[in-house]
C-alpha cells in the first residue's frame, strides 16, 4: 500500500565500487560519523631506546643581550627553530614563543636591539616573513607587520638602527630578486616603505649621517645608494659603471665618517671610498698588481683589509693592507705564505686585529696585528706543525678574547682565550674530546661568555664560561629527549594486506633500516639495516607491486639500488647492482603494472633512464635510452593510466616533455612536444600529473601561455591546454601553489589552487573544459588570495588549510559552489591557535586527521568532519602544553600510523584505530501536500540522500493526469502540478546519476472540490445566507458539508420563543464517514431581514441561536466571539461541532449562561 503523506523506498539499483568510503563512478560515499576515532592512539613500539643524539641537539644561535636577558634561537623536534631567552641559569632558560607552532620553524633571525626592545624577523618557510618584536614575555612577543602579505617567499634582511628608526630591506613585490628599503618606529602603522630601490643584500651601513646600500634599477644597474630616511632623500650616490651593467658595490664598511667599499676600478684594485656625495665617491688606487680587496675592517681609525698581489696565473700572494683613504696612505702591512688561496679574513677586537693565516709551516692558526709590519705576527701555534688549530668565532669579553680551536689532541670542542700574548693564549676547557665536538656563536652576555657547545654526546646546547675550566658549564640541555627513531628523514610507508612497512634511519647508531608492523609491539620487527658511512639516507619509495615490496636503498657495498622484500629478513634483498657504488639522488620508483615495477636508474653508460624489473636480476633491464648516450633523460613525475606509464623526460632534443611507455622500447615515445624545440614544455617543479575519468591532467608551458593546466588522452592531438588561467605569458601555477597530484575528484571535477593574476591564489575547479575551469570563490577579495593548501576529499566536500597570506592557518571546506565554500575553523585565542596539515581522511569514518596547535595542549593529533563543532582534539599525547608534534600520517586497515613524541620515548611510531561506518543506503524521498483544492498549483519536492551521492542527479517525474517531466540538477528538486478535477492523484519520482538508479518514491494527494474543507487551508461555504468558515487545522482530512432546512418547527421551542429559521449542518469525509466534532472552532454567520422579524413579531435585540443537544435546545448567546449585528442584520456564533440549529427570537434574555429549554 502506498503511504498518503510520505514514504521512503530503498535503493533499486546501485552501480559502482566503494573503496575506503569513496565511491568510484557511483552514487555512494559514506556519510560522516558522530565519532570517527575509536582510539586511543598508542605507541606501537619504542624502537630506539637509547640517546643517539650526537649529531643533533638544539643548535642555539643568534645571541643578543638586552638588559639582563639574552635572546637566541634554538631548534627542538617538537617546535622547530624558535625564539628562546635565558638569564644564564637553567631555570631561567626557556622557549619564549613557538611562533609557528609545532615542528615547523619560524625562521627567526636578525635579533636587534631597538630602543631596549627586541626586534627580529620571523615567518613560515613557504610564506612571507614579518617584522616582530618582544618585551621578553610570550604575550608580548607579537607581529609588528607583514610587509608583503601576498608575496610568498618574502624575506626581510639587514635590520639596522639609524637616526631613531629601525631600517631594513624587504623583498620587492615589483622587482623579483631585489629588495626595497623600509623603516619602522615599532608599530604597524609606523612600519612603512621608504622607497622601492631594487637593493641587493650587500647590507645597510651607516656613515657620515647617512644610510648606504647597494641598489639600482634597469637604467643604472646596482650601484651605491644613500638614504636620509625619506623617499626623496633616498637616491643614487654615483653611477660608477655607467649604463645598465652596474658596479655591484660590496663589503660596505664604515671607518669614522668614511664609507669604504669594493667595486670595479679600471684595474686599479677595486677599493673605493665615499662621503655620500657624487664627487666625494672616489677610488682609492692600490699599487699595480694588487687586487681583490676583501675583509674590510676598521682598526684604530684606519681601514685594514686583505688583498692579493698578482704574480702569475694561479700564483697570487695574499697580504694584509691598511689605508687612510688616500693612495699615498695605502700600504702593505705584511704578505703571507703564497700557498694561501684567499686573503686572510680580519676581525678587530680590543684595539688589535685578529685573523687566521694558513702557511706551510703552521697550518691555519691565529695571528695578531696592531697595523704595523713589526706588530703583525703569529699569536700562537696552538696545534704545532702544519695541521693548524682552526681558530674561529673570536669574541671579546671585557678585554679577553675567547675563541674555539683545537690543539690537535682532540676535536674542535676546545674553548680558548687570549690576552693578546702567546703566553696568555691558553686552553679554558675541552668540552668534548671526540671529533664530533665543536662550538659556535660565542657572545658576550654582560661579562659572561655564552656559546653553543657540542660535547660530542648531546649535540650543540647552551653553555657559558667565566674564563675558567670549572666555570665553563652546560647551562641547560634544551632538547633532552629520549632516543628518536625518526629524526633525519621522513619515513616512507607502504602496506601489503594488513602489514605496514616503514623506514627510519636512527635505529642502530645512525644506520637506516626497513621495518614491518601489524600495529603491535611484538609484530613490529626490523627486516634489515643498511650499512652506510657518512651521510645516510633511509630507504624510500616503498611500493606494493602485486604483493611484493619494492624500494630504493643505499649501502656502502652497492650504492643506491633497487631492492625488494617478501616481508621476511631473508627475503629482503638487492634486486640488481645496476651501477656499483653509484649514489644518484634521482633514482626513484615511477609506477607498476601487474608484477612489473618501473623506475629510474643509471648503469654508468646510458645516464639516468627508464628501467623496469620483475624482481629478478635478469628481468631488471633498461626500457629505453631516451637520451642517447651518457646524458640523463631524468624520467620523473609519473602516473599510470590503463597500464601505460606517463612521465616527464628530456631526450636532449625536445627538452622536458610528456612521455609514455608500455614497457617496451618501441612503446616508449614522446606524447607531444608541447614547447617546440629544446625548451622545456614541462617544469620539473610544476608538472604534477594526476588522472581523472581516464584523462591525464598536468601543468605545462608552451612558451606562450606560461605554466597552465593541460590534459592528455595519450595522443598528440588529444594533448592540449585546458585553460589559460592567467592570460598571456603569466602562469596560473607557481612554486607556492599546491600541486595537482594531491587533488581529489568531486563530482567529476579537479580541485586545485591557481592564480589568474587578478584574484590571487584561490581555490579552482575544472571539469576538463575551458568553460568549466573556474575559480570556485574569490574568498579574499583582490590580489591577496586565500592561499589554500593541498585539498583533500571528505564526503561531498574538499577540505583544506590556508597557508601564508592574509588568513593563514584556517580550515575551509568547499562543495564546489560559492555558497558552499566557507571557513569552518579559524585560529582564535588559546582554544585553537593554529592548524596545519596534512589533512588525512580516515577511511569511511567521515573524519580527517590533522596536526593542530592548541595553547593548552601543544601540537597534537586532531580530527575534523568539516564543521567547527566536529573539529576536536583526538588525544593529548604529550601531556599538557608540551607538543607531541604528530606528523607523517599513513592509513592502512582502518588504522592511522604516525610519528609522535610523548616526551618519554622520543619520536616513535604510533597507531590510532578508527571506526569504519556502514554506508547509508541511497534513497530518494518525495514530499507534498495530502490534499489540495481543484485548480490550485501543488508543489512537490524530492531529496536524494545521503549527502555523499554524486551529482548531477536526473529526476524523472510522473503523475496521473499530467505530462511526464525530467529535471537534472543537485541533490534536491521540485515540480508543480495542477489538477482541475477532484479525486486522488498519484505522483512518482525516479532519481538516477552516473552510477545508475538511486531510488524511486511514490505518494498520493487528494484534490477536493471548491467549498469543502481541507486540513491545510480550511474552507468557507455559504448556504442560503448561512456562511460557515473553518480555519486551517480544524479537520484532519478533507470533508464535504451539507446544509438542509426542513419545514416545520421540529423539536418544540420554549415558551415565548418564536422560530425565525431552522436548519441542519452535516460533514462527511471523502469516504463518507460522518464528522460531528472539529479540532478547532468554526464560525457560523446567519443573515436575517427586518421585514421577516416584524412579520413574526420578533424583537431584533432578542435574537439567539440554539442547538439541539439530543434532549433540549441550548442557547449559544452570549459566547466569546459571538453576537448580534443589528446594523448589518447578522448573527455570529463560534462553536466546534455540527447538529440541528434554530434562529429564534422573543423576550429579551438576561442570563449570561446557556439555558437549557425543556
Of the candidates 914, 857, 912, the one whose C-alpha atom is nearest the C-alpha of residue 889 is 912
For the stretch 778-790, pLDDT in tens is 988 877 788 888 7
The mean per-residue pLDDT over the stretch 379-394 comes to: 85
270: left (phi over 0), alpha (psi -120 to 50) or beta: left
**Predicted pLDDT at 1071:** 72
**Predicted pLDDT at 958:** 93
CA dist 277 → 228, 237, 239 (Å) = 13, 6, 12
In the chain, what percentage of residues exceed pLDDT 70? 86
Count H helices and E strands in the chain, helices first. Answer: 1, 95
Torsion, Cα 677 681 685 690, to 10 degrees, reads -150
**Predicted pLDDT at 602:** 92
The mean per-residue pLDDT over the stretch 300-326 comes to: 86
State the Cα–Cα distance between residues 595 and 546, nearest whole angstrom. Answer: 5
State the Cα–Cα distance between residues 608 and 636, nearest whole angstrom. Answer: 10
State the Cα–Cα distance between residues 18 and 11, nearest whole angstrom. Answer: 15
Indicate if the pLDDT at residue 1157 is higher than 80: no
State the Cα–Cα distance between residues 909 and 892, nearest whole angstrom. Answer: 14
266, with CB counted inside 10 A (0-12, 13-18, 19+), is: exposed
Of the candidates 716, 630, 640, 617, the one whose C-alpha atom is nearest the C-alpha of residue 673 is 716
**Predicted pLDDT at 153:** 62
Return the half-sphere exposure (C-beta side, CA atoms, 13 A cut-off) of residue 65: 14
The mean per-residue pLDDT over the stretch 895-903 comes to: 89
Task: List the grid coordinates of 175.
Answer: 622587482
**Predicted pLDDT at 807:** 62
1000 φ/ψ angles, rounded to the nearest 5 degrees: -135, 145
For the stretch 324-351, pLDDT in tens is 999 899 999 998 875 544 444 556 777 8
Indicate if the pLDDT at residue 52 is higher than 70: no
The mean per-residue pLDDT over the stretch 77-92 comes to: 90
For the stretch 903-941, pLDDT in tens is 888 888 999 998 755 556 778 888 888 777 788 888 899
Give bridge partners of residue 930 from the DSSP assignment.
Answer: none
User: What pTM, to 2 d.p., does this model score?
Assistant: 0.61
pLDDT confidence band for 745 (50 / 70 / 90): low
The mean per-residue pLDDT over the stretch 136-150 comes to: 88
State the Cα–Cα distance between residues 307 and 241, nearest whole angstrom. Answer: 22
- 161-165, 338-342, 437-441, 449-453: segment of lowest average pLDDT: 338-342
Of the candidates 419, 388, 390, the one whose C-alpha atom is nearest the C-alpha of residue 402 is 419
The mean per-residue pLDDT over the stretch 55-64 comes to: 83
Decide which of 3.30.450.40, 3.30.360.10, 2.60.220.30, 3.40.50.300 is the CATH code for 1019-1157.
2.60.220.30
Task: List the grid coordinates of 516.
Answer: 614491518
**Predicted pLDDT at 834:** 55
**Predicted pLDDT at 313:** 66
1101 φ/ψ angles, rounded to the nearest 5 degrees: -70, -15
State the Cα–Cα distance between residues 656 and 991, nearest whole angstrom. Answer: 47
- 337-341, 372-376, 673-677: segment of lowest average pLDDT: 337-341
State the Cα–Cα distance between residues 212 and 259, nearest whole angstrom. Answer: 8
pLDDT confidence band for 91 (50 / 70 / 90): very high
State the Cα–Cα distance between residues 801 and 789, nearest whole angstrom. Answer: 5
**Predicted pLDDT at 119:** 97
State the Cα–Cα distance between residues 82 and 739, nearest whole angstrom. Answer: 28
pLDDT confidence band for 50 (50 / 70 / 90): low
**Predicted pLDDT at 741:** 40
- 417-421, 435-439, 538-542, 1064-1068: segment of lowest average pLDDT: 435-439
State the Cα–Cα distance between residues 926 and 942, nearest whole angstrom. Answer: 5
Q: Which among 148-162, 257-271, 662-676 has the top mean pLDDT?
A: 662-676
Indicate if the pLDDT at residue 73 is higher than 90: yes
For the stretch 1020-1043, pLDDT in tens is 888 778 899 999 999 988 888 888
The mean per-residue pLDDT over the stretch 474-478 comes to: 90
Indicate if the pLDDT at residue 429 is higher than 60: yes
pLDDT confidence band for 20 (50 / 70 / 90): very low
**Predicted pLDDT at 1007:** 80
**Predicted pLDDT at 509:** 53
Cβ-contact 46, 910 below 8 angstroms: no
CB proximity list for 31: less than 8 A, separation 6 or greater: 795, 846, 917, 919, 920, 946, 947, 948
For the stretch 574-612, pLDDT in tens is 999 998 766 655 789 999 999 999 999 999 889 999 999
- 216-220, 361-365, 579-583, 893-897: segment of lowest average pLDDT: 579-583
For the stretch 796-831, pLDDT in tens is 888 888 876 556 678 889 988 998 899 888 765 444
State the Cα–Cα distance between residues 341 and 294, nearest whole angstrom. Answer: 13
Task: List the grid coordinates of 715.
Answer: 595522443
Cβ-contact 355, 404 below 8 angstroms: no
**Predicted pLDDT at 805:** 58
- Strands (E) in 414-536, as ranges, are 414-418, 426-430, 438-445, 448-454, 460-465, 473-476, 493-496, 499-508, 511-517, 525-529
State the Cα–Cα distance between residues 354 and 109, nearest whole angstrom. Answer: 27
Q: Which pairs with CB-CB distance under 8 Å and at least 24 residues apart come from 577-580?
A: 578/602, 578/603, 578/611, 578/620, 579/603, 579/604
59, with CB counted inside 10 A (0-12, 13-18, 19+), is: buried
Cβ-contact 899, 848 below 8 angstroms: no
**Predicted pLDDT at 617:** 95
State the Cα–Cα distance between residues 1063 and 1106, nearest whole angstrom. Answer: 11
Size (the chain), residues: 1158
In the chain, what percentage of residues exceed pLDDT 90? 38
The mean per-residue pLDDT over the stretch 385-408 comes to: 86
Indicate if the pLDDT at residue 642 is higher than 60: yes
Stronger pLDDT, 700 or 102, i.e. the higher one: 700
Average pLDDT, the chain: 83
Q: Where are the domains of the chain?
A: 8-15+23-29+920-1008, 286-378, 391-480, 486-583, 843-918, 1019-1157
State the Cα–Cα distance between residues 222 and 858, nearest whole angstrom. Answer: 47
What's the CATH architecture for 8-15+23-29+920-1008? Sandwich (2.60)
**Predicted pLDDT at 806:** 59
109: left (phi over 0), alpha (psi -120 to 50) or beta: beta
Cβ-contact 599, 611 below 8 angstroms: yes
Q: Which among 407-411, 697-701, 828-832, 946-950 has the top mean pLDDT?
A: 697-701
Amino acid at each position: 500500500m502506498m503511504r498518503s503523506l510520505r514514504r521512503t523506498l530503498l535503493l533499486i539499483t546501485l552501480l559502482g565500487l566503494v573503496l575506503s568510503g569513496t565511491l568510484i563512478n557511483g552514487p555512494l560515499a559514506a556519510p560522516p560519523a558522530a565519532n570517527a576515532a575509536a582510539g586511543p592512539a598508542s605507541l606501537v613500539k619504542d624502537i630506539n631506546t637509547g640517546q643517539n643524539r650526537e649529531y643533533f641537539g638544539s643548535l642555539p644561535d643568534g645571541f643578543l643581550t638586552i638588559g639582563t636577558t639574552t635572546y637566541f634561537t634554538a631548534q627542538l623536534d617538537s617546535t622547530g627553530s624558535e625564539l628562546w631567552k635565558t638569564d644564564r641559569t637553567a631555570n631561567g632558560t626557556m622557549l619564549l614563543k613557538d611562533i609557528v607552532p609545532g615542528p615547523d620553524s619560524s625562521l627567526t633571525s636578525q635579533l636587534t636591539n631597538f630602543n631596549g626592545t627586541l626586534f627580529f624577523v620571523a615567518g613560515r618557510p613557504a610564506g612571507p616573513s614579518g617584522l616582530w618584536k618582544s618585551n621578553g614575555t610570550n604575550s608580548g612577543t607579537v607581529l609588528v607587520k607583514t610587509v608583503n602579505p601576498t608575496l610568498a617567499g618574502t624575506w626581510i634582511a639587514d635590520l639596522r638602527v639609524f637616526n631613531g628608526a629601525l631600517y631594513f630591506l624587504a623583498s620587492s613585490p615589483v622587482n623579483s630578486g631585489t629588495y626595497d628599503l623600509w623603516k619602522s618606529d615599532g608599530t604597524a602603522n609606523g612600519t612603512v616603505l621608504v622607497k622601492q630601490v631594487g637593493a641587493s643584500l650587500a647590507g645597510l651601513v651607516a656613515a657620515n649621517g647617512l644610510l648606504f646600500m647597494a641598489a639600482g634599477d634597469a637604467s643604472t644597474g646596482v650601484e651605491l645608494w644613500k638614504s636620509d630616511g625619506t623617499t626623496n632623500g633616498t637616491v643614487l650616490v654615483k653611477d660608477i659603471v655607467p649604463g645598465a651593467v652596474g658596479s655591484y658595490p660590496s663589503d660596505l664598511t664604515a671607518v669614522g665618517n668614511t664609507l669604504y667599499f669594493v667595486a670595479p676600478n679600471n684595474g686599479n684594485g677595486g677599493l673605493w671610498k665615499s662621503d655620500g656625495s657624487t664627487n666625494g665617491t672616489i677610488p682609492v688606487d692600490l699599487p699595480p698588481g694588487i687586487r681583490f680587496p676583501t675583509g674590510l675592517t676598521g682598526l684604530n681609525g684606519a681601514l685594514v683589509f686583505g688583498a692579493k698581489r698578482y704574480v702569475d696565473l694561479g700564483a697570487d700572494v695574499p697580504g694584509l693592507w691598511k689605508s687612510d683613504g688616500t693612495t699615498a696612505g695605502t700600504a702593505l702591512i705584511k704578505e703571507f705564505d703564497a700557498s694561501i688561496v684567499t686573503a686572510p679574513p680580519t676581525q678587530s677586537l680590543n684595539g688589535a686585529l685578529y685573523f687566521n693565516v694558513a702557511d706551510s709551516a703552521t697550518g691555519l692558526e691565529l695571528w695578531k696585528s696592531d697595523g704595523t709590519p713589526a706588530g703583525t705576527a703569529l699569536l700562537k701555534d696552538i696545534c704545532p706543525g702544519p695541521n693548524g688549530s682552526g681558530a674561529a668565532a673570536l669574541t671579546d669579553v671585557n678585554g679577553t678574547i675567547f675563541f674555539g680551536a683545537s690543539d690537535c689532541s682532540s676535536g674542535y670542542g676546545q674553548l680558548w682565550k687570549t690576552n693578546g700574548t702567546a703566553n696568555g693564549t691558553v686552553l679554558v676547557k675541552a668540552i668534548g674530546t671526540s671529533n664530533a665536538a665543536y662550538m659556535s656563536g660565542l657572545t658576550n652576555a654582560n661579562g659572561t661568555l655564552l656559546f653553543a657547545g657540542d660535547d660530542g654526546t648531546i649535540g650543540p646546547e647552551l653553555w657559558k664560561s667565566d674564563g675558567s675550566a670549572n666555570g665553563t658549564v652546560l647551562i641547560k640541555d634544551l632538547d633532552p629527549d629520549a632516543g628518536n627513531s625518526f629524526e633525519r628523514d621522513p619515513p616512507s610507508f607502504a602496506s601489503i594486506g594488513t602489514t605496514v612497512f616503514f623506514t627510519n634511519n636512527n635505529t642502530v647508531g645512525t644506520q637506516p633500516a626497513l621495518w614491518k608492523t601489524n600495529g603491535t609491539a611484538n609484530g613490529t620487527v626490523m627486516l634489515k639495516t643498511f650499512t652506510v658511512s657518512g651521510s645516510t639516507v633511509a630507504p624510500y619509495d616503498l611500493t606494493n607491486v602485486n604483493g611484493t615490496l619494492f624500494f630504493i636503498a643505499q649501502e656502502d657495498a652497492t650504492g643506491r639500488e633497487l631492492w625488494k622484500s617478501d616481508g621476511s629478513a631473508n627475503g629482503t634483498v638487492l634486486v640488481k647492482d645496476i651501477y656499483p657504488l653509484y649514489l644518484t639522488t634521482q633514482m626513484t620508483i615511477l609506477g607498476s603494472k601487474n608484477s612489473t615495477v618501473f623506475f629510474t636508474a643509471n648503469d654508468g653508460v646510458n645516464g639516468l633512464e627508464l628501467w623496469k624489473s620483475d624482481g629478478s636480476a635478469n628481468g631488471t633491464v633498461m626500457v629505453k635510452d631516451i637520451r642517447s648516450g651518457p646524458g640523463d633523460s631524468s624520467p620523473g613525475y609519473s602516473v599510470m593510466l590503463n597500464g601505460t606509464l606517463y612521465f616527464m623526460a628530456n631526450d636532449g632534443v625536445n627538452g622536458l616533455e610528456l612521455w609514455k611507455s608500455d614497457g617496451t622500447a618501441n612503446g616508449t615515445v614522446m606524447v607531444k612536444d608541447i614547447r617546440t624545440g629544446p625548451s622545456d614544455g614541462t617544469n620539473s617543479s610544476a608538472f604534477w600529473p594526476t588522472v581523472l575519468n581516464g584523462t591525464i591532467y598536468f601543468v605545462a608551458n608552451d612558451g606562450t601561455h606560461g605554466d597552465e593546466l593541460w590534459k592528455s588522452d595519450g595522443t598528440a592531438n588529444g594533448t592540449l591546454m585546458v585553460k589559460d588561467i592567467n592570460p598571456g605569458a603569466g602562469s596560473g601555477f607557481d612554486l607556492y601553489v599546491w600541486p595537482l597530484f594531491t587533488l581529489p575528484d568531486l563530482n567529476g571535477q579537479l580541485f586545485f589552487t591557481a592564480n589568474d593574476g587578478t584574484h590571487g591564489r584561490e581555490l579552482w575547479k575544472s571539469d576538463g573544459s575551458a568553460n568549466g575551469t573556474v575559480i570556485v570563490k574569490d574568498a579574499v577579495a583582490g590580489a591577496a588570495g586565500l592561499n589554500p593548501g593541498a585539498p583533500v576529499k571528505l564526503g561531498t566536500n574538499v577540505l583544506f588549510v590556508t597557508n601564508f597570506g592574509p588568513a593563514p592557518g584556517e580550515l575551509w571546506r568547499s562543495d564546489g559552489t560559492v555558497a558552499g565554500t566557507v571557513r569552518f575553523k579559524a585560529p582564535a585565542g588559546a582554544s585553537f591557535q593554529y592548524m596545519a596539515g596534512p589533512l588525512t581522511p580516515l577511511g569511511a569514518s567521515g573524519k580527517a586527521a590533522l596536526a593542530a596547535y592548541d595553547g593548552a595542549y601543544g601540537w597534537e593529533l586532531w580530527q575534523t568532519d568539516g564543521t567547527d563543532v566536529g573539529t576536536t582534539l583526538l588525544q593529548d599525547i604529550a601531556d599538557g602544553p608540551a607538543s607531541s608534534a604528530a606528523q607523517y600520517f599513513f592509513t592502512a586497515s582502518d588504522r592511522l600510523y604516525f610519528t609522535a613524541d610523548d616526551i618519554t620515548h622520543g619520536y616513535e611510531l604510533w597507531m590510532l584505530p578508527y571506526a569504519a561506518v556502514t554506508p547509508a543506503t541511497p534513497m530518494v524521498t518525495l514530499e507534498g501536500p495530502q490534499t489540495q483544492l481543484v485548480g490550485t498549483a501543488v508543489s512537490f519536492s524530492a531529496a536524494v540522500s545521503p549527502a555523499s551521492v554524486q551529482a548531477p542527479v536526473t529526476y524523472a517525474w510522473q503523475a496521473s493526469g499530467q505530462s511526464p517531466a525530467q529535471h537534472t540538477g543537485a541533490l534536491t528538486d521540485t515540480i508543480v502540478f495542477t489538477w482541475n478535477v477532484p479525486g486522488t492523484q498519484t505522483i512518482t519520482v525516479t532519481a538516477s546519476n552516473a552510477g545508475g538508479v538511486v531510488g524511486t518514491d511514490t505518494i498520493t494527494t487528494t484534490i477536493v472540490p471548491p467549498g469543502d474543507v481541507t486540513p491545510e487551508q480550511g474552507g468557507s461555504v455559504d448556504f442560503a445566507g448561512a456562511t460557515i468558515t473553518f480555519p486551517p487545522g480544524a479537520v484532519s482530512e478533507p470533508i464535504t458539508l451539507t446544509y438542509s432546512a426542513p419545514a416545520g418547527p421540529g423539536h418544540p421551542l420554549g415558551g415565548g420563543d418564536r422560530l425565525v429559521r431552522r436548519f441542519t449542518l452535516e460533514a462527511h469525509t471523502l469516504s463518507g464517514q460522518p464528522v460531528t466534532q472539529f479540532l478547532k472552532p468554526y464560525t457560523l454567520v446567519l443573515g436575517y431581514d427586518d421585514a421577516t422579524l416584524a412579520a413574526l413579531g420578533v424583537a431584533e435585540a432578542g435574537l439567539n441561536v440554539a442547538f439541539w443537544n439530543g434532549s433540549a435546545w441550548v442557547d449559544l448567546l452570549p459566547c466569546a466571539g459571538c453576537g448580534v449585528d443589528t446594523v448589518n442584520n447578522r448573527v455570529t456564533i463560534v462553536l466546534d461541532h455540527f447538529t440541528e440549529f434554530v434562529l429564534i427570537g422573543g423576550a429579551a434574555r438576561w442570563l449570561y449562561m446557556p439555558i437549557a429549554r425543556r
